[in-house]
A and B are shown apart, each in its own frame.
Chain A
């Protein structure tokens, strides 16, 4: 059986991580490569990088970060943010990422999923989804709506229908972020995660709301997620990945225990 994956998420702008990070150990704060090494050594099962660099001209800085990360850690990692074409995907994969994640660009042009899967294999293509609870209404039978541009733009698209369509197009995995839970540190959106995970046949990574290990326990059991994204709860030094894993193991959840 597969272990449930714990995946730290790092936002990177102009080659530096954006959040003020407090580490217990002596790490060069703000360097994505050092942070990747830190989490790798703590037992992260995978790492997600979101490039939030605003200007397109500076994107080659991220490619250089990807290359240096690939020389440093020997677990899979994915890169998302600003990927709009198969050529953007190719550059990131050749630099050493295992997977690329598409979000807004896929909502605007769903064919990018199919083209990416065709070119690189579906296991490389992660669909990032930002989802808001709006209640059941015409066009939104699940009550959850897809939003883009960091949650600012509602698309009138049902989240479950979009997840199924993306799977059909060739997405190999879904990273499902609840805009409502994101940043609250009060727990993942369990209903949303269980709904999507129960209907698709590809793995689902739950995102948004993690504040303590119990939240991961809940989303990996009741929420039926295959993996859980963590950000501030590990970045601010409140919990180490190894500590979260020890807790989950104690709850009877299978996690990777040696690394």
Chain B
């Protein structure tokens, strides 16, 4: 059973539908016992970091997630989930879970694209990833594949070796993170067509090295 963490942060049903479509059993839950009993954890989310951390702290799920990561359980962050696992977010100046050391920064409103025109924020739509370090999550993904992004902030790990893939949008930012039993994507795997489903399936089958 895969636990999809429910912390009042957006539409988790779409993640559950994608996982079910791939043939894996999952449940959307905020229950600590269910999360501890699960084989793996998906930590999605849409919204603001401040409200997300407030909700996690209020329910005590912040400690459960940190504990489950430390216990070695495979964990997948998606979008806001990928930001909340960092140490600190510039969004609402929020202290986050600290599973990956580093911060979450806002896209500057002054970025410009190849044509010299200002880039629109949020970064919303389809973009590519450039794999830096091959990871089981990105197995079978080609450089042409694109993924669906919707975000105004991006993770900046302190250690460069946590960055599995990057994406270019005015700047080059970390779009796939990997650290021990954690993998995380800034884009929405559940809304990225076949390549996204492939990565989600890769996670569902992943056994991290102990």
Contacts and interface: CB of A to CB of B under 8 A. Distances in A.
A93 B114 CA distance: 34
Nearest to A224: B117
Interface residues of A, number: 30
A157 B91 CA distance: 35
The secondary-structure label for the interface of chain A is: loop
A256 B144 CA distance: 8
Contacts of A256: 126, 146
A51 interface: no
A172 B151 CA distance: 11
B22 to A, nearest CB: 10
Contacts of B150: 123
Interface string A212-244: 000000000000101100000000000000000
Contacts of B127: 1-3
Interface string A55-95: 00000000000000011001110000000000000000110
The 3 lowest CB-CB distance pairs between A and B, nearest first, are A2-B125, A3-B126, A256-B146
Given A96-B17, A259-B195, 13 more contacts: A2-B123, A2-B124, A2-B125, A2-B169, A3-B126, A71-B21, A74-B192, A74-B193, A75-B148, A121-B48, A123-B46, A201-B109, A258-B146
Interface of B: 10-11, 13-14, 17-18, 21, 46-48, 109, 113-114, 117-118, 120-127, 142, 144-146, 148, 150, 168-169, 190-197
29 contacts: A1-B168, A2-B123, A3-B126, A3-B127, A45-B126, A70-B14, A71-B17, A74-B18, A74-B191, A74-B194, A74-B196, A74-B197, A75-B148, A75-B191, A76-B148, A94-B11, A96-B11, A96-B13, A96-B17, A98-B14, A120-B10, A121-B46, A121-B48, A123-B46, A123-B122, A123-B124, A123-B150, A257-B144, A258-B146
